[in-house]
Amino acid sequence: MLPRQWAGRVGAMFCRRQADDALAANVFLRESTEPFEHLRISLDASDADVRDIANRQARDMFALACSVPVSDTVTVRTMLAKAVGRAGIRPPEGDTVTDAGAIARMTDAHWWRRQLRRVHGRELEAAAIGFGIVHRGGQPYASDQTVERRQQQKRRNAAVLNETIAINEHGDEFTLAELAARSVANPEIRRGELMTRIRGFEEVAVRVGHVADFWTVTCPSRMHSKRVGASGSTEDNPTFDCTNPREAQRYLVRLWGRVRAAWARAGVEVYGFRIAEPHHDGTPHWHVMVFMSARHRDTARDIVRRYAMADSHDEPGAERHRFKAVGIDAGKGTAAGYVSKYVAKNIDGYMVETDLFGNEAISASRRVEAWASTWGIRQFQQIGGPPVGVWRELRRMGPIKPGIDAGATAARARDAADAGDWADYVEAMGGPVLSREKRPLAMEYGPAMQVNPVTKSDGRRLRGTGTPHRKGQ
């Protein structure tokens, strides 16, 4: 049931306990394996096994749908959703999902394959954390099995991108692989755009006289599977409550939501970026680079500290580790320079030699990316400022044609985006702290995608664009 790579480790853990207490060793083995006995997919299942199960589930769902003697889609959807839930999968939800669309997904092998891969990957990684495999002295950030699964997924995705052609409104054809290489899906472009936006925010802050702060927010000890002992070595955390990284990330998101609400009540306005990255044992923590008026700094810090300490405030080390704040001294270096290493090591390891534990940075970045993908954790998020979607579309649209009255705001924003000047773009869009509904430009979305005649082996052609527009047009 367990991956064969784990057998030796689990066996050694059992033997160590058996030498002291045979009963305790048996209890350890039972408690370690019981959580995985109910799994419909064995932890050591291959991707081929997952595909076979997906095909079988899709066939069973189709047969179940056909067994209903009525053509009532609501009844069919409800019945299938219950069956999908019993299989440990969340059924399609949301107001935009029609009954017919939900039924089509739940009877489709490809949909099942995606869902089962996601669930299986998280169960596998949760087991790796539970068995103490994921830590700085072993396999940091994510297990070797998860990293390899992610590499396999990326190879499958690359093959699909190479076999799919997209056509723009001018009739130009590109493979999706070519388009991905020109977009933020390319790690180098993604890193460059993030640093452009961070530097732009810093330029805005300098112009208006704002200060920069760098914060680190961590989870309570009970969410960490490992801790550092008195000797400096890594050891099991006796207070670990089996919280997985996705649940820990939800804790941080809820904490941040409370912080933002408290800021709003106190009239505190900040802008910047937050970066989610894993501790060596996979538990997430956040680095936050924010800019604000100097008169708001103490209040902003006090609010974050208060909510960060609300859970288990009296545990050892909470005051020291739960929230750290560092004011950025412009005389000693830029805010963008301070945060650049955190951006790089969470994308591609560019210009970073090793991580905190001495691991080669490029290899470590692959492990971090696999961790984020497996747990569905958003690594980077902008705080405040205008939307980046409008910025990207303005960069794609080219010069405004002569004779078209786009307005001074749109023209300035387009020129700033075309020049890669995030600071000017922010100012053209009303500044760093204006609410989104008051921004002068927003996105207007047309039909998302159309399927057209065969082009390559999988027969897919894609069309669809979004364009920026001025509000009120």
3-state secondary structure of 189: helix
3-state secondary structure of 154: helix
Same domain, 241 and 372: yes
The number of distinct structural domains making up the chain is: 3
Annotated catalytic residue: which of 338, 350, 425, 445? 338
Same domain, 414 and 341: no
Q: What are phi and psi of 445, to 5 degrees?
A: -105, 135
Any domain includes 90: yes
Q: Does 342 qualify as catalytic in the annotation?
A: yes
Residue 351 has pLDDT above 60, yes or no: no
Residue 463 has pLDDT above 70, yes or no: no
Average pLDDT over residues 63-81: 87
At residue 36 the predicted structure's pLDDT band, cuts being 50, 70 and 90, is low
From the CB of residue 112, how many other CB atoms can be counted at a distance below 10 Å? Answer: 26
At residue 301 the predicted structure's pLDDT band, cuts being 50, 70 and 90, is very high
The answer to whether the CB of 221 falls within 8 A of the CB of 243 is no
Q: Does 338 qualify as catalytic in the annotation?
A: yes
Q: What is the pTM of this model?
A: 0.86
Same domain, 436 and 336: no
Any domain includes 379: yes
Give residue-wise pLDDT tens across range 369-421.
999 999 999 999 999 999 999 999 998 876 665 555 567 888 899 999 999 99
Same domain, 308 and 258: yes
Annotated catalytic residue: which of 141, 271, 307, 342? 342
Same domain, 450 and 324: no
Write out the two tokens for 269: 């306005």
Give residue-wise pLDDT tens across range 85-100.
998 899 999 888 999 9
Q: Whole-angstrom Cα distance, residue 469 to residue 406?
A: 9
Same domain, 408 and 319: no
Residue 451: domain span: 388-470
The answer to whether the CB of 439 falls within 8 A of the CB of 430 is yes
Task: Determine which of 122-131, 171-180, 294-303, 352-361 has the lowest per-residue pLDDT on average.
Answer: 352-361
Domain boundary residue, one of 360, 383, 406: 383
240-277 CB burial, b ≥16 within 10 A, e <16: beebbbebbbeebeebbeebeebbeeeebbbbbbbbbb
Residue 163 has pLDDT above 60, yes or no: yes
Tokens 């303005």 belong to residue: 394
